Amino acid sequence: MTFAGMGILLDIEGTTSALDYVHKTMFPYARREVEAFLARNWDREDVAAACEQIARDAGAEGLAAWVPRARVPGRRKAVVVEVYRLMDADAKATGLKQLQGLIWQEGYAAGALQSHVYPDVPPALERWAKRGLDVRIYSSGSVTAQKVFFAHTEAGDLTRFLRGHYDTTTGPKRDAASYRAIAAAFGFPAGEVLFLSDVVAELDAARAAGMATGLTLRPGNAPVEPGHGHPEIATFAVVA
């Protein structure tokens, strides 16, 4: 696939990294650690902000309004229960993603996690960097989670190849407005950006915003119906 544009925007799950790593390693780790993590870090400003966002995502004005008569242990328990509920629903809620990112950040720092990336990803990132391409990430995982993910991969620290990160605070991944906002952040026309993802609905939204698109076909990805209209890519090696 020849791409003559100026920027590449990448999804993570099913694109740079295996779905199984995210769903069978990272998510269970966050679920297993959340209660102890909150007990250790409840007074941290970033943790408090994530918990406040979880309460707002649940429809309350904040944590105090969400569980008004509870003391700190009760509020922590309410957050843990809501985290379990959201994870069971595979929700893309901003507060959940913020808190998961902080838990993973601690896990990576402790050496408990190491990110999977497909073998073609590191050489492609290096090749694109040498071409002067602006490579960025757009994932439902928080920006914090994205940065620690790529800083601790099996191939080493890949963050030097990435110039930007976007998450649900930019907008939903199936909304064309999100991709228009990202193109504006790149600073050049949407048609100069190639978006690679394993989700057709996301690619449809990016194409509606004017971006070039490519559907990544990785082992373990969900099957896709024919006729989706996006070029299919089994390896980043073909993106030249």
DSSP H helical segments within the chain, as ranges?
Answer: 19-21, 27-41, 45-57, 63-66, 72-88, 94-109, 121-130, 143-151, 176-186, 200-208
For the cut 90, the answer to whether the pLDDT of residue 2 exceeds it is no
Q: What is the pLDDT of residue 69?
A: 84
Average pLDDT over residues 142-149: 96
Q: What is the pLDDT of residue 96?
A: 97
Mean model confidence pLDDT for the chain: 96
Please check whether residue 164 is in contact with residue 185, taking contact to mean a CB–CB distance below 8 angstroms.
Answer: yes
Predicted structure pTM score: 0.92
Report how far residue 223's alpha carbon sits from residue 183's, in angstroms, rounded to the nearest whole number.
28
**What type of residue is 213?**
T
Asked if the domains 7-17+116-238 and 23-109 are classified in one and the same CATH topology, the answer is: no
Q: What is the pLDDT of residue 3?
A: 84
What does the domain layout of the chain look like in residue ranges?
7-17+116-238, 23-109
Q: What is the pLDDT of residues 169-224, one digit of tens each?
A: 999 999 999 999 999 999 999 999 999 999 999 999 999 999 999 999 999 999 99
Please report, for residues 37, 121, 135, 234, 238, the alpha-carbon distance to residue 1 in angstroms, rounded to integers and kept in the order given. Answer: 44, 15, 17, 11, 5
For the cut 90, the answer to whether the pLDDT of residue 88 exceeds it is yes
Please report, for residues 1, 24, 158, 204, the alpha-carbon distance to residue 12 in angstroms, rounded to integers and kept in the order given. Answer: 20, 15, 13, 17
Percent with pLDDT over 90 in the chain? 95
Q: What is the pLDDT of residue 1?
A: 81
CATH number of 7-17+116-238: 3.40.50.1000
Token pair for 176: 């064309």
Token pair for 124: 């492609």
16-44: b or e for each residue (b if 16 or more CB lie within 10 Å)?
A: bbbbebbeebbeebbbebbbebbeeeeee
| Architecture per CATH, 23-109 | Orthogonal Bundle (1.10)
For the cut 90, the answer to whether the pLDDT of residue 118 exceeds it is yes
For the cut 90, the answer to whether the pLDDT of residue 70 exceeds it is no
Q: What is the pLDDT of residue 4?
A: 80
Percent with pLDDT over 70 in the chain? 100
Please check whether residue 50 is in contact with residue 95, taking contact to mean a CB–CB distance below 8 angstroms.
Answer: yes
